[in-house]
Structure 1
Amino acid sequence: MSNSKLKNIRISIVCPWFLRGDAVGHSANDYYNALRETGFSNVRALGVRNDFPDMNFELCEDAKSLEENRWFRQSDLIVYHFAIHHELFEALGNPKKTGKHVVCFHNVTPKHLMPKRIWDVIDRSFAQIALFKNADAIWVDSRENSEELTRQSIKDLPFIELPIAVDRPAIGALEDKPTRQIDLMCVGRFFSSKGILDIVDALAKVKRMTNRHFVLRLVGNTDFSDPEYIREVKERVCLYGLGENVDFIGKVDEVTLARVFRQSHVLVSASYHEGFCVPVIEGLRAGMIPVTYDAGNLRWIAGGRGRTVTTGNVDGLADTLVEIIEGVAESFDDPAAPVLPLDGGMKSAQQFSKDAKTYASSFSFDNFTGRLERAVTHVFETNA
């Protein structure tokens, strides 16, 4: 197919919820914008809810309404964004479907890490993955997501890795941050799978192990969080007497979020499951050192530019946080001294900032648009 003809194809981006504050919703919106930016003018978003008014969006609530949608029926390419079960994805199993069908897989959190009330949904999500065998290609955010599909017996299909675009916050440098205290940050939804209680338990130990003053800021959209888990986190903070060390901010506006990134030195994640983990790249952009468990894609996402700890090892997390806190404090006196103990070796604050900026910039929206354009071309070349 010629390039001019390819750019005139009709494309449907199918995602149940194009939500702000949600990684999958933002990713689906990025796909829409990137395709439009690279010259694909005939693109529409189809789903149940849309928080992005600039998108050309059509409401489809289930597979039947999707299959009856004129734009969907006439589309040459359909891209499904899958992270949890929804009736929309049943359209993949229709033997009479037309066009090229691609699944962008964002992974599914195992049910033992989620509240029991949604275990049935998780079971149905993993069962629905079997429909991927009817796709023409699979696009994944990460190596972890590719390996998960292999574990789910999805293979013999073209796999292309398309890391999520991350263009915020503003690029920062560790050596330019405030030096009055060590600021830590944890950002994301509040669910048991995110290991917030592990972080609080670790900080209780950290407080006994160092004289450095530190504050952890917990940031996340509580609209998508588990209220019972939030209550438990707050109770644990009080139990340990960490009121001066843990600031539960919760939902914030963009200006406040940017400010917290700008002033923080360390990004902490004790998540038990990650298919990509956008906050790690955001932290690196902001000049923050990521300290994380090694679950899922967390083992690879920072590329040695932070510290990983065996998942569930709270003592190890505490020890590592102390090492990083001490290293950051020492870097205040000499930003050129190699005092930061990272997985990739001892680094100075200046060298870390340089490396983090270069690496995080590779996830830019501009780079993503180029990868996506090549992926679309590959679908039509491979399945010609």
Structure 2
Amino acid sequence: MKILQIVPSISLIYGGPSQMVMGLSAALASQGVEVTILTTDSNGDFGQAPLDVPLDKPVPQDGYQVRYFRCYPFRRYKFSLDLLRWLWAHAKDYDVAHIHALFSPVSSAAATIARQKKLPYILRPLGTLDPADLQKKRQLKQIYAALWEKPNLAGAAGIHFTSKQEAKISERFGTNPPDIVIPLGVKSLKMPPKGEARQRWGITDNQPLLLFMSRIDPKKGLDLLIPALERLLASGVNFHFVLAGTNPQDPDYENQIREEIKASPLSSCTTITGFVTGESKLALLQDADLFVLPSYYENFGIAVAEAMVAGTAVVISDQVHIWSDVKGADAGWVCSCEVEALTDALREALADVGEQERRGSNARDYALNNYSWDAIANLMIQAYREVLSKPSSVGRN
């Protein structure tokens, strides 16, 4: 089986949704699937240098290959004419295309080419069909959907949702493609010794470490978290807050959050690390007593799953769409998107170290059993085979 994974970028700077494609590709390759990722050299939207990678050449990686293409003429939108030309010429060589991201010009155009070339394709919307997300640039998205995404959805062999909740609430613009509900995967993490993050950032052992590690974006609920933490601090609750993340697409909002914390009583017990990866990321997950993500909408929450596999209990909103998994596994605390509810959940979680440890252990067990890449790859291979068994996938050019 030959599968194309098409994604606007796999740069670390764009976070989990892009990185997931590499994890999936490696897991598929380990089970004998021939996988090629088509992507661009985009490495940020505000003047950052592009990725230093070979262009339009197969780059071997973890059993699969990546083909990078130069972003042009619209670098800001991760668009590549060369990628689309390559797809037009080589679509016939593949069995299925798995296209990641809607409302992204290169993904939208790729789906159109796949349809014209009769290459069956699956779309993964990355939360862009969530009604809350569709409110952003609403009029522009309505036009874009009418011209591009509605016919792309109508012609898809399936939509890859990462949770039942995402599938339940997502807009389909009057189309009816099959739902394919398969979660994202996480790999078992080799954690560093405890204490490395505390030592690096000067956080004392007598302060519970509360970690937010995600893209700094309005949808992540920082406007709930900051006042909730201020309330806890004012009532005498002891903690140290670590804000780890950045926003390559909206640095103004990131700066706004930084200035808000700087002017807040939280400044005395907050560390802002910026973007972290590798050993620094693992060290923070290892030392965190709680992981918090009170998002207004989150189609899966890969950062939450990573915290769980690290054995860290989580405090999340009920709009992070794996909340039912967390609640069912007793792997953390779930609350509504309200300051008072988040304050109460954090207060309860911070008050009991033993409960943090118990729920963290539950979180690790659940994540390893249900979000392992081997299990996800098996489900995805089955989905690809079902796509190929349908009459619509027969008689291609």
What TM-score results when the alignment is normalised by the length of structure 1? 0.80
Aligned to 2:73: none
**Any residues of structure 2 matched to 1:1-384 within 5 Å, and which?**
7=1, 10-21=2-13, 22-41=15-34, 43-49=35-41, 53=59, 54=61, 55-59=65-69, 61-62=80-81, 65-66=84-85, 69-93=88-112, 96-108=116-128, 122-123=141-142, 126-127=145-146, 128-130=148-150, 131-149=152-170, 152-155=173-176, 157-167=177-187, 169-170=189-190, 180-211=206-237, 213-222=238-247, 224-304=248-328, 305-311=331-337, 313-328=338-353, 331=354, 340=355, 349-350=357-358, 352-361=359-368, 362-383=370-391
Q: 1:68 to 1:258 in 2, by over 3 A?
A: closer
Contact residue 182 and residue 376 of structure 2 kept, 8 A: yes
Contact residue 12 and residue 46 of structure 1 kept, 8 A: yes
| Counterpart Cα distance in 2 of 1:173 and 1:124 | 52
| Paired-residue identity, % | 18
**Deviation sequence 1:71-109 (CA, Å, 0-9, x none):** 223322111112432144234345632232222232217
Count how many residue pairs are aligned between Structure 1 and Structure 2: 350
| Counterpart Cα distance in 2 of 1:173 and 1:289 | 18
**Deviation sequence 1:25-49 (CA, Å, 0-9, x none):** 21222232233221123x3222323
Q: 1:366 to 1:171 in 2, by over 3 A?
A: farther
The Cα shift of 1:370 comes to 1.5
Q: 1:273 to 1:23 in 2, by over 3 A?
A: same
Partner letter of residue 370 of structure 1?
Answer: N
| Counterpart Cα distance in 2 of 1:122 and 1:246 | 37
| Counterpart Cα distance in 2 of 1:307 and 1:208 | 22
Q: 1:267 to 1:318 in 2, by over 3 A?
A: same
Q: 1:279 to 1:125 in 2, by over 3 A?
A: farther
Contact residue 88 and residue 117 of structure 2 kept, 8 A: no
Larger CA deviation: 22-31 vs 245-254: 22-31
Specify the SS of the correspondent of 2:314. Answer: strand
Partner letter of residue 11 of structure 2?
Answer: L
| Counterpart Cα distance in 1 of 2:290 and 2:106 | 40
The Cα shift of 1:56 comes to 3.1
Q: 1:121 to 1:141 in 2, by over 3 A?
A: farther
| Counterpart Cα distance in 2 of 1:320 and 1:62 | 49
Aligned to 2:76: none
The Cα shift of 1:243 comes to 1.6
Contact residue 293 and residue 310 of structure 1 kept, 8 A: yes
Contact residue 163 and residue 182 of structure 2 kept, 8 A: yes
Q: 1:256 to 1:62 in 2, by over 3 A?
A: same
**Deviation sequence 1:335-378 (CA, Å, 0-9, x none):** xxxxx3xxxxxxx734x243222201021112122112222222
| Counterpart Cα distance in 1 of 2:361 and 2:87 | 52
**Deviation sequence 1:86-133 (CA, Å, 0-9, x none):** 1442343456322322222322176976997x6666556655431211
Q: Which runs of 5 or more residues in structure 2 are unaligned?
A: 43-50, 54-58, 70-78, 199-203
Q: Which runs of 5 or more residues in structure 1 are unaligned?
A: 1-6, 332-339, 341-347
| Counterpart Cα distance in 2 of 1:72 and 1:148 | 32
Larger CA deviation: 300-309 vs 357-366: 300-309
| Counterpart Cα distance in 1 of 2:274 and 2:108 | 32
Partner letter of residue 98 of structure 1?
Answer: K
Specify the SS of the correspondent of 2:266. Answer: coil
Partner letter of residue 117 of structure 2?
Answer: K
The Cα shift of 1:186 comes to 0.4
Partner letter of residue 258 of structure 2?
Answer: K
The Cα shift of 1:325 comes to 0.6
| Counterpart Cα distance in 2 of 1:359 and 1:191 | 28
Q: 1:363 to 1:306 in 2, by over 3 A?
A: same
C-alpha RMSD of the superposition: 3.2
Partner letter of residue 388 of structure 2?
Answer: F
